[in-house]
Structures are given as structure tokens and as C-alpha cells.
Amino acid sequence: MQITKLTGFMGAEVRGVQLRAPHGPDLKADLRSALRTHHMIVLRDQNLDLSDQKRVTEIFGPLMQLPYVQPRADDPHVIAVLKEAREINVGVFGGDWHSDFSFLANPPAGSVLSAVDVPAVDGDTLWASQTAAYDSLPADLKGIVTDRMAVHVGAPYGVKHAPPPDARSGASIQMTRGDPKADVEQFHPAVITDPVSGARALFVNPIYTTRFDGMSAAESAPILRALYQHATRPDISCRLKWQVGDLVIWDNRMTLHYATNDYDGTRRLLYRTTWQGQPPQ
Ligand code: SIN
């Protein structure tokens, strides 16, 4: 296995591995270690079928079924992240900086995307390292977030904070909206620790974090704005130009990610699987 870093703070390309072949314990340990170090890894030319992709996902943890987003009809663990060429001027799934489903009591630990049909030059995905974000936080912000709980709600799926209809994604991804249960506040530490490496990461979410425990939304808003600006800086990010056959694996707790929406008129299809871990600590 050869590992080449993509940027200074996060992301790596892993070469010399074909994941269709059976995975021995050494390969699994090496992949886990690469992900723990780089937080996002890409393996080119994998062209996995869905059962291969699920086996790879299970190297990292048990498969997780996500609420609110309709999975493939034949497999509750697989989401088709699809925008058809005819879907013009609509939002895309994941088209804002976020980590996945942080409004759950136990948000996904990580996700896997495989590229089936991708535009030639656009439709990139970006990730930002939240360990680098935490490490480089100015002292005043670090003081505010350390040992503080942040409050998350499932805004796009609930009632109270529902986005306007014109901000919603296209028809190719079906979501359940208007569920009052998604408005229930969930409390997570604003700074979390990787249980194995001990690395600390900022854990606030531009889509789902509404306020800090002990503060109102209005008091929290300027702090959250400053944190989001800091947490999505280009210097702590990496950007992937997709190729058909790519497999990308990322840590959903140590990163934020962002799907660009610059490919109207072109079809883009990736399959996504997700694994479970322990609640963020
Ligand atoms: C997501 O999982 O948020 C979507 C990522 C992408 O489509 O690039």
C-alpha cells in the first residue's frame, strides 16, 4: 500500500490495493490506520459493486441505516446520491458544509462513496479537517467551545427550522420532511476526542447546530459564524475531482464535507454507505 498525502492537513490517496479481492487482517488494519491519520482516503479504479462496497464499509464499523433519506429500494444501507442531467437549478444533497446527521444521538462515524457516473470536470467534493480547525482555533474561541455542549437539530427534516422549498434538493433523492421528532435538541460536546488517537476535533455543524448549551440561539449565532468561517478555511481543506471507479472513505466526526453544485446538465451518481461508532465523546 502506498499513501500519498493530498494536502498539508488532510486527505490521502491510497495506491496498490484492489478492494474487490478478499480483505486480510493486515489490509484492514492498514486501511483503518490510513483513515485515522488522514481522515479521508481515496482509492482510484476500484469499480466496486454494492456488496463489495458494504464489505469495505464494515472494515470500519457496522453498517448504519440513515433516517429521513430514502435508500435504494433493494438495499436499506445504500443511498444513491444522484442528480440527473435534467435537474437544473436545484440544490444538491450535501451542498453545504456539514458532517452527516449530527442531530442523532449517535451520528454516523464515517461514510463511503463510490463514483458510478461523474461529470468530467465538475461536481467535486470538499472536506475540511476539524482536528486542524481545533488545533488552530484562536484562544478566545477555544476557551468558549472547550468543555461546552453544542445543540444539534435535524433542521431540514423537521418543522421549526425547515428550509424554504426552493432551497431543497432535486427529485432524484427523496427525503422525509416535516417530522417534529427531527426538531428534538441533541447535545454533543463542541470538541470531541478520537478514542484511539486522542486527537481533538471541533464538532459543530453549519446545518444542524443551532446554539450552545446555556446560551440562546441569538447569543450563539456570532460565535457559530466565527467557528464555521474558521472550520472551512481552504488551508485545512482538500478537494477531490472524481473519476469513475473512485472509492472515498471519510471520518464523519473529524471532518466537514461539501458537495459542489456546478454541474447542471450532467448526470452524477455515487453510492453512499455509512458505518456506526460510539457516540461522540
Ligand atoms: C454527501 O454525502 O454529503 C454528498 C457528497 C457528494 O455528493 O459529493
How many whole angstroms from 139 Cα to the centroid of ligand 1?
Answer: 32
**pLDDT for the residue numbered 206:** 97
150 torsion bin: left (phi>0), alpha (psi -120 to 50), beta (else): beta
Nearest atom of ligand 1 to the alpha carbon of 268: 7
**What pLDDT does 99 receive?**
98
Within 8 A by CB and 6+ apart from 275, the residues are: 57, 58, 60, 61, 62, 63, 64, 108, 109, 110, 111, 112
Cα(41)–Cα(220) distance, integer angstroms: 33
C-alpha cell at 24: 486480510
User: Ligand 1: which atom is nearest the Cα of residue 111?
Assistant: 2
User: pLDDT tens across 152-177, in order?
Assistant: 999 889 888 777 766 666 788 888 88
Confidence check: pLDDT of 270 > 90: yes
pLDDT at position 165 is 66
Partnered with residue 248 across adjacent β-strands are 42, 113
- Only one residue has cell 486522542, namely 198
Cell 465538475 belongs to: 122
Instruction: Identify whether 281 is part of a domain.
Output: no
Instruction: Report which of 56, 40, 93, 25 is spatially closest to residue 250, judged by C-alpha positions.
Output: 40
How far is ligand 1, taken at its centre, from the CA of residue 272, in Å? 8
Pocket probe for ligand 1: among 42, 83, 92, the residue whose CB has the most ligand atoms within 8 Å is: 92
Whole-number pLDDT of residue 209: 97
Q: Is residue 22 one of the residues assigned to a domain?
A: yes
Q: What number of other Cβ atoms are within 10 A of residue 154's Cβ?
A: 21
In a domain, 118, yes or no: yes
Which atom belonging to ligand 1 lies closest to the Cα atom of 272? 2
CATH label of the domain that carries residue 261: 3.60.130.10
| Helix (H) or strand (E) run with residue 41 in it | strand 40-43
Identify whether 71 is part of a domain. yes
Span 92-108, mean pLDDT? 96
Instruction: Provide residues with CB under 6 Å of ligand 1.
Output: 81, 93-94, 125, 257, 259, 270, 272
Q: Structurally, how many domains does the chain consist of?
A: 1
Confidence of residue 260 (pLDDT cuts 50, 70, 90): very high
Which residues constitute the domain of residue 185?
2-275
pLDDT digits (tens, 9 = 90+) for 179-224: 999 999 999 999 999 999 999 999 999 999 999 999 999 999 999 9
Please state, in angstroms and rounded to a whole number, the distance separating the CA atoms of residues 155 and 168. Answer: 12
Q: What is the pLDDT of residue 162?
A: 76
Residue 231 inside a domain? The answer is yes
Question: How far, in Å, from the CA of 219 to the mean position of ligand 1?
Answer: 31
Atom of ligand 1 nearest to the CA of 125: 8
CB atoms within 10 A of CB 194: 17
Task: Look at residue 54 and tell me if it is in a domain.
Answer: yes
Residue 248 maps to a domain: yes
Is residue 280 a part of any domain in this protein? no
Residue nearest to atom 3 of ligand 1 (CA): 94
